């Protein structure tokens, strides 16, 4: 069985799976129309429809609703802090996060970058691990909450993530968030002011502009109209 994390990888994953495991892939395609499939986003549901699933059900992931959680400061400080939460691996956008940090430094921007999450072996030889990023390693859940509250922008740099729960936690703490257009977190956070999105691109210049846009916002995520980053045309709500 192959799993799909992003729309662009669906076709590629199926192609590789069918080439390496032709019989297993054929059996999977026969079974899919007969079973109930639960998906963590509408984008994932669209992918399974292309594979013959007639009525996939979207069930968003959830996180605990903490009654006493600190909120991020309303106005960024003189040295805004940009944070990511996730295991250190290429799929999570290590290289992109590092290169945005390097570009910000080269441009003289007073930004601080931090990554919370344990290091894995899934890191390519060419992946940049920037010295401009504070690599904090794995932290307890309470400590992660504290670090989110002490930050200004949450930058989940992974394009290959169906529904990152860390985005939901960041929005709970009213943290400005910059995310990809086609990941599941965009679907649940698009009604939040202070949330910016970029199309599926790895261009560090565009992401740097998105982060800059977020640091200049006067409103944090709450409830209201979806706000889109100025680097690309806004998508209509709904």
Q: Which domains does the chain have, with CATH numbers?
A: 7-58 (no CATH), 81-215 (3.40.50.2000)
Q: Measuring CA to CA, how many Å separate 130 from each of 104, 114, 115?
A: 12, 11, 11
pLDDT at site 7: 46
Model pLDDT, residue 88: 96
Residue 90 is predicted with a pLDDT of: 93
| Token pair for 114 | 């931090």
Q: Which pLDDT does position 149 carry in this prediction?
A: 92
Structure tokens at 166: 């860390």
Closest-CA residue to 162 (of 43, 77, 70)? 43
Three-class secondary structure of residue 137 per DSSP: strand
Nearest-angstrom CA–CA distance, 25 and 2: 8
Q: Which two tokens stand for residue 23?
A: 């019989």
Q: Which residues of the chain have pLDDT under 50?
A: 1-7, 199, 218-219, 222-238
Q: How far apart are CA 142 and CA 146, in angstroms?
A: 6
The one-character DSSP state at 236 is: P
Encoded tokens for 133: 């990023």
Residues with Cβ within 8 Å of 221's Cβ and at least 6 positions away in sequence, in order, are: 170, 171, 174, 175, 176, 177, 189, 192, 193, 194, 195
pLDDT at 36: 92
Q: Which of 177, 168, 201, 153 is nearest to 41 (CA)?
A: 168
Tens digits of residue pLDDT in 26-45: 888 899 999 999 987 787 88
Q: Is the pTM of this model over 0.85?
A: no
| 3 state SS of 180 | strand
Q: What is the pLDDT of residue 205?
A: 65
- Report the pLDDT value the prediction gives residue 185, as an integer from 0 to 100: 67
Beta strands at 57-58 and 38-39: parallel, antiparallel or unpaired: parallel
CA–CA gap between residue 143 and residue 224 (Å, rounded): 29
Residue 130 and residue 46: Cα distance in Å, rounded?
36
Mean of per-residue pLDDT scores for the chain? 76
CB 75 within 8 A of CB 146: no
């Amino acid at each position: 069985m192959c799993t799909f994390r992003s729309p662009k990888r669906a076709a590629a994953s199926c192609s590789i799976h069918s080439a390496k495991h032709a019989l297993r892939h054929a059996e999977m395609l026969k079974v899919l129309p007969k079973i109930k499939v639960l998906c963590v986003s509408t984008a994932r549901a669209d992918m399974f429809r292309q594979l013959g699933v007639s009525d996939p059900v979207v069930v968003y992931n959830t996180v605990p609703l903490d009654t006493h959680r600190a909120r991020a400061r309303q106005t960024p400080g003189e040295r805004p802090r940009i944070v990511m939460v996730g295991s250190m691996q290429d799929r999570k956008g290590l290289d992109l996060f590092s290169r945005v940090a390097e570009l910000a430094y080269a441009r003289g921007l007073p930004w601080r970058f931090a990554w919370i999450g344990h290091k894995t072996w899934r890191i390519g030889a060419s992946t940049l691990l920037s010295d401009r990023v504070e690599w904090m390693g794995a932290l307890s859940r309470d400590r992660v909450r504290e670090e989110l509250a002490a930050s200004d922008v949450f930058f989940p740099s992974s394009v290959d993530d169906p529904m990152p729960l860390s985005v939901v936690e960041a929005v709970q703490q009213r943290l400005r968030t910059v995310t990809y257009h086609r990941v599941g977190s965009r679907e649940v956070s698009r009604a939040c002011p202070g949330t910016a999105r970029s199309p599926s691109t790895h261009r560090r210049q565009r992401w740097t502009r998105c982060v800059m846009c977020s640091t200049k916002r006067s409103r944090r995520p709450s409830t209201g109209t979806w706000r889109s980053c100025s680097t690309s045309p806004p998508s209509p709500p709904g």
